[in-house]
Amino acid sequence: MSTLTAQTYLTPEEYLTWERKQPFKNEYHTGQIIAMSGASRTHNRITVDITVQLSNQLMNSECEVFASEMRVRTSPEVSYFYPDVIVVCGEPHFEDDTFDTLLNPIVVLEVLSPSTAAFDRGEKFEHYKKLVSLQEYVLISQDSVRVDYYCLQETQWNRNTFQHLEDVLILASIACEVPLQAIYRRVVFNAS
C-alpha cells in the first residue's frame, strides 16, 4: 500500500539521499515521494510464502531472492520502487556502493493491495518494462485466487491469468514452479 505525500519535487539524487535517512519506505515516481504504508496480514503471508518457495528452489543457483526491502530503479525516466519480491540472477548490479538499489531484476512480483492495484497493473508496469533485464512480472491478488503472469517473448509482453488453486505458476526465466496452493495456503477469503 502507498499514499502520496506532500507535493515536493526532488531530483532522483535528492530522493535517494533523503530516503536512506527515513525510518519508513517511500517510493519515488516522476519527482514525487509516495509513502509506503503497512501491508495487511494477508499481503505479508503471500509475500513470505512466495519468497520461501522461490528461495528454496533457487538455493543452489546463481539467483538471489529479495523481499520488500530492496529498492529497484527504473530508467530512462527514473523511478524507485519497492517490489514485494525480486529475483536477480548472475551478478547483481546496484546503483552505488550502498547496495540497496537494484538495477537488473529478472523477475518482479507484486502482491496487489486495493489502493495500489491499478498503479501496479498500469503505470508501474510500464516503468518496469523499461528494465532490459526484466523477463517476468507477476501480480498476485490477495482478495481472490488470481495471479496475472506477464512474460517477455522477444518484444511482446504476453499475459496468462491463473484462478484455480490447482494451477501452477511457472517462472521460466528462473526455472521455478510455484503452485497457487502454496501462494494462498494461509489465506482466508471472505465469503460474500
**If DSSP states are collapsed to H, E and C, what string results for the chain?**
CEEECCCCCCCHHHHHHHHCCCCCCEEEECCEEEEECCCCHHHHHHHHHHHHHHHHHCCCCCEEEEECCCEEEECCCCEEECCCEEEEECCCCECCCCCCEECCCCEEEEECCCCCHHHHHCHHHHHHCCCCCCCEEEEECCCCCCEEEEEEECCEEEEEEECCCCCEEEEHHHCEEEEHHHHCCCCCCCCC
Q: For the chain, give the percent of residues with pLDDT over 70.
A: 95
17 or 36: which carries more pLDDT confidence?
17
187 has a pLDDT exceeding 60: yes
Full-model pTM: 0.90
What pLDDT is attached to residue 115? Answer: 83
Q: Which residue has the higher pLDDT, 62 or 9?
A: 62
Q: Is the pLDDT of residue 159 over 50?
A: yes
> How many of the other CB atoms lie within 10 Å of CB of 68?
18
Q: What is the mean predicted confidence (pLDDT) over 127-145?
A: 96
pLDDT at position 5 over 50: no
Task: Write down the pLDDT at residue 38.
Answer: 74
Q: Is the pLDDT confidence value at 4 over 60? A: no
- pLDDT grade, residue 3 (50/70/90)? very low
**And the C-alpha cell for 70?**
530492496
Q: What is the pLDDT of residue 76?
A: 84
Cα–Cα distance between 86 and 50 in angstroms, integer? 11
Query: What domains can you pick out in the chain, each with its CATH number?
Result: 39-183 (3.90.1570.10)
